[in-house]
């Protein structure tokens, strides 16, 4: 666990860094009341998230998949960004170069005001037409099932990267460029074991960055990073300003 001296050192490094990259995961959203939908929380009507968030499941039963996503959207709609989200917005404002990479699909970073970011797994409030490919925002709660495209009347799907699908190349390129040039990297609320996020800390370290982890529990990255701060994201991230 990081002591006050380590916290002050990290705060000072962030203050003078010209380039900062932040990677966030489920831990930062948990403080807003967003469930992870993995493990015990991943069961819905006896379905696991891993069985529903696939192209095959959508092709087989799009209504079932949309009912699940509508349920998730209804839950997320009741949540709000927490102090950690807002602290990262302020960190972005202060930094000369800043990039936020999030694995979360809840859209809370954007709701808080973050602008320079990659939502590498997508955003639950965005939809994509399976016909013409148009991507648009949709905040309907509940969303009509089955939702259709306003342009071509094609079936809409959540603009989410499902299991078995590749991440957007643009997001990967932006993230890689930011990681290779950053001076400080923060890893907040994620175990960092799922690729490509699992490679981000090593890339930043190899580029010479100071890497810090903020998490409640030890992770596979804990032995790799320069400092670890134990605690809830909503409590600890604001202390870094």
How far CA 50 is from CA of 70, 87, 148, 189, in Å, comes to: 16, 32, 25, 21
Q: Could you tell me the CATH number of the domain that includes residue 154?
A: 3.30.1600.10
Q: Could you tell me the CATH number of the domain that includes residue 211?
A: 3.40.50.1220
- Strand, coil or helix: what is 96? coil
Q: Do residues 71 and 49 lie in contact, with contact meaning Cβ atoms separated by under 8 Å?
A: no
pLDDT at 3: 61
* Same domain, yes or no: 21 and 96: yes
CB neighbour class for 24 (10 Å; exposed up to 12, middle 13-18, buried from 19): buried
Pairing of strands 43-44, 19-24: unpaired
Nearest to 118 by CA among 171, 188, 168, 185: 171
> Catalytic site residues?
121
pLDDT at 2: 52
Which range of residues forms the domain containing residue 50? 35-78+122-160
pLDDT at 1: 45
* Same domain, yes or no: 186 and 115: yes
pLDDT at 132: 97
Tell me how many domains the chain contains.
Answer: 2
* Same domain, yes or no: 212 and 117: yes
- CA–CA separation, 114 vs 137, rounded Å? 17
Low-confidence ranges of the chain (pLDDT < 70): 1-3, 36-42
């Amino acid at each position: 666990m990081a002591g006050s001296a380590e916290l002050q050192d990290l705060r000072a490094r962030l203050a003078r860094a010209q380039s900062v990259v932040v990677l966030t995961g489920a831990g930062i959203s948990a403080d807003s009341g967003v469930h992870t939908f993995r493990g015990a929380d991943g069961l819905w009507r006896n379905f696991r998230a891993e069985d529903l968030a696939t192209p095959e499941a959508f092709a087989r039963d799009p209504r079932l998949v949309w009912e699940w996503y509508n349920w998730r959207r209804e839950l997320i709609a009741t949540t709000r960004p927490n102090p950690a989200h807002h602290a990262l917005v302020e960190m972005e404002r202060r930094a000369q170069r800043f990039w936020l990479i999030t694995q979360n699909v809840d859209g809370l970073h954007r709701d808080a005001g973050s602008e320079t970011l990659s939502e590498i797994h997508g955003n639950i409030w965005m939809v994509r037409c399976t016909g013409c490919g148009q991507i648009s925002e949709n905040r309907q709660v509940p969303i009509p099932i089955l939702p259709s495209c306003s342009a071509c009347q094609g079936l809409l799907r959540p603009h989410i990267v499902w299991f078995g699908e590749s991440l957007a190349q643009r997001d990967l390129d932006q993230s890689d460029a930011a990681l290779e040039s950053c001076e400080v990297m923060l890893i907040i609320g994620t175990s960092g074991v799922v690729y490509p996020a699992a490679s981000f800390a090593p890339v930043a370290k190899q580029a010479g960055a100071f890497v810090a982890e903020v998490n409640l529990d030890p992770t596979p990255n804990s032995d790799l990073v320069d400092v670890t701060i134990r605690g809830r994201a909503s409590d600890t991230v604001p202390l870094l300003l």
